[in-house]
Chain A
Amino acid sequence: MKRTIAGSLVALLLAAACGGGTGGAPSGGTAKLTDGKLVIAVINDQSGVYADLSGKNAVEAVKMAVEDFKAKYGDNALGGSVEVLTADHQNKADVAQQKAQEFYERSNADLILDVPTSSAALAIADVAKTQQKLYINVAAATTDLTGKSCNKYTFHYAYDTYMLAQGTGITVTQQGGKSWYIIYPNYAFGQDMEKSFRQAVIAAGGTVIQSDGSPFPNTTGDFSSLLLKAGQLKPQVLGAMQAGGDLVNVVKQYNEFKLKDQNIKLAVGLLFDTDITALGQDALAGTVYTTPWLWNMDEQSKTFADKFLKRTGIRPTFAHAGNYSAAWQYMEAIRRAGSDEADAVVKQLEGYKFSDFFIRNGFVRPEDHWVQHDALIAQVKPKSESKETFDYSKVVSTIAAEKASRPLAEAGCSMPK
């Protein structure tokens, strides 16, 4: 008995020594991984209203990033294997929190990615803070991630309600849509959108006549009472802040009630390509919206979109592309740090300036961890102008990174060092 314990002890020691020998000598840019492997966990909605715009295909995007990273820097680029885990948070904050806890603690996840649905996104920010592990949010919109819920380990990558309001709110108001009636889904995301748009519209010289919350989730799929109210209030712009399936219902019924013929313009807060698929391009033709990225905006984006199409059968939404880019930049940061230790990676990310196919003029603000970058004003084309399936929109103009980002003074984030 004694001998076997001693024997295994020796074996263990030997293994540890060997392991230390190979992993411990950083040669040729190989990083040192704390537990011999890198674990990236993607938490998002895989069965509900946001499953199409991120969902399983966002996991595929992250896997693509890992494969491409290995192809570029070699199999052992990070000094160990890279594992991609995934979980469905069902758009519930408590499920998200529990999954995050599990991933960080039991699966030794080094990074949590994606997380649409603002309430769930904020819940995970708290877990990242207490666990002292990295969390890069891509698909949620709430500005609280870099505001009152900001912390050392949480980064906000692709877009937020401030960016959407700066783009759509200001552009539409300046084009003459001075009076607004805003309808929003009554939960964290919608309330945040309402606030951001109200500020932007007023700043651009417009007024908000009224705003109303719609129940979320809206079980009946019926928005006719709010649309009738719009017909009564006669605003120049109806600002619809609903997302995903809810938005599809709003637009369908907006067209049904012929509000356009009454000179009530539709402004959409957040639009994904998947929404355009559901509505048919012509139902939205002419709609101006803000997005961080379009798959057909330039050659390098198209190259990614082609690869993505081959793998998944659809063109990527900006959430898909954002997850790829965030995973890539995270792995780059590990290479620069020479370690996957969270504090070292945070240090590499803070203040980092970069551009890739998704992020233009990127800068990771050290004060609140907002990843500042250019945004696009896009417009939905009529079907007659599109050259292929998923060719939905064109870029109207670009909003410079600084203008698309909430000023630090307004963020209200006190970053603990």
Chain B
Amino acid sequence: MDYIALQLFNGLVNGSFYALLSLGLAVIFGVLRVVNFAHGALYMLGAFAAYLLLQDFGVGFWPALVLAPIGIGIAGMILERLLIRRLYGLDPLYNFLLTFGLTLMIQDGVRLRYGLQGQPYPAPAELAGSISAGLVAYPTYRLFVIAFSIVVCVAVWYLIERTRVGMIVRAATERPELTRALGINVDRWVTPVFGFGVALAALGGVLAAPMRNVSPLMGSELIIFAFAVVVIGGMGSIAGAVVAGFLVGVLASLAAIFNPALENVVAFALMAIVLLVRPAGLFGSLEARS
């Protein structure tokens, strides 16, 4: 029983990362209609930014948790202004290719400089211990990751559902032309929204650094799952991304109890089922997909 309970926590930890990544993807897709394939690479850059801040400037985990997302977010905004913006008028496939190309360039750039094997990054001293839970100890840092991502997800939800900025973004998501007609400058919000989504990815990267191997390929492996999560939750749906993220994490971990190999399959099996039963995703509406 203990084992299953702890495995549930592991699922929530993995789910936290899926939720943060797909949340960013969903926000970007919702407003820009861009499937940002570079999301995984930007997540990786977040982890590397944390590593470099510690290595070269002695800046620890807590400041990095703020600085890295801001830095990578700004880099994301520059990317949007310079490149992604130019392809809005074309088939969405072009931006897909562009962001995929960017992924390869970012990954290989980091690889050239730091190699593939990865870099060390310790957990912050305050969270390095573990909390006793029955028979087994559970790492404090993992509990922090779960709590922190839930807070971030709720905050993002509040921002989008309950504030004026969120209202504009939502309106722009669902009826961009109508929103424009009401005199709201939709385009002004495009760049910050992209930067915001990217910052969420970078935040996930910083959170992952103490737990995972900080290597150039860490994001390319995770991004596929994040896409599956977005599809399960419903393209562009904020709540869907979060719920599906945690759901996939927990189900995958529970499946791993029976057979470790199942862990990688669950997300895609779930995606197939959801697409059959509810093609728009758990929380999606068909209009948001157009």
Contact = CB atoms under 8 A, between A and B. Distances in A.
B137 A225 contact: no
B225 A219 contact: yes
Interface in A253-276: 253, 256-258, 261-262, 274-275
Given A49-B116, A253-B211, A278-B215, A215 B264 contact: yes
B147 interface: no
Nearest to A224: B10
Q: Which of B123, B139, B210 has the most CB of A within 10 A?
A: B139
Contacts, number: 114
A101 to B, nearest CB: 27
A7 interface: no
B116 A52 contact: yes
Interface string A265-305: 00000000011011110010000000000000000000000
Contacts of B215: 245, 248, 278
A26 B277 CA distance: 78
A229 interface: yes
Given A186-B261, A220-B14, A256-B123, A52 B117 contact: yes
B135 interface: yes
B260 A224 contact: no
Contacts of B111: 47
Contacts of B130: 257-258
A340 to B, nearest CB: 35
Give the interface size bracket for B toward A.
35 or more
B14 A256 contact: no
A8 interface: no
Contacts of A249: 212-213
A252 B211 contact: yes
A49 B118 CA distance: 10
Interface in A187-238: 212-215, 217-222, 224-226, 228-229, 231-232
B92 interface: no
B156 to A, nearest CB: 23
A384 to B, nearest CB: 16
Contacts of A220: 14, 221-222, 225, 252, 263-264
Interface in A32-76: 47-49, 51-53
Given A224-B10, A228-B3, A228-B7, A214 B260 contact: yes
B211 A245 contact: no
Interface in B109-124: 111, 115-120, 122-123
Contacts of A147: none
A49 B117 CA distance: 7
16 contacts: A48-B116, A220-B252, A222-B14, A225-B253, A225-B257, A225-B260, A228-B3, A245-B117, A245-B118, A245-B213, A252-B212, A252-B213, A256-B139, A257-B138, A258-B137, A278-B118
Given A47-B116, A214-B260, A256-B141, 14 more contacts: A52-B116, A215-B263, A219-B225, A220-B225, A225-B260, A225-B263, A228-B10, A228-B136, A245-B117, A245-B217, A252-B212, A258-B137, A274-B115, A280-B120
Interface of B: 2-3, 6-7, 10, 13-14, 111, 115-120, 122-123, 130, 135-139, 141-142, 210-215, 217-218, 221-222, 224-225, 252-253, 256-257, 260-261, 263-264
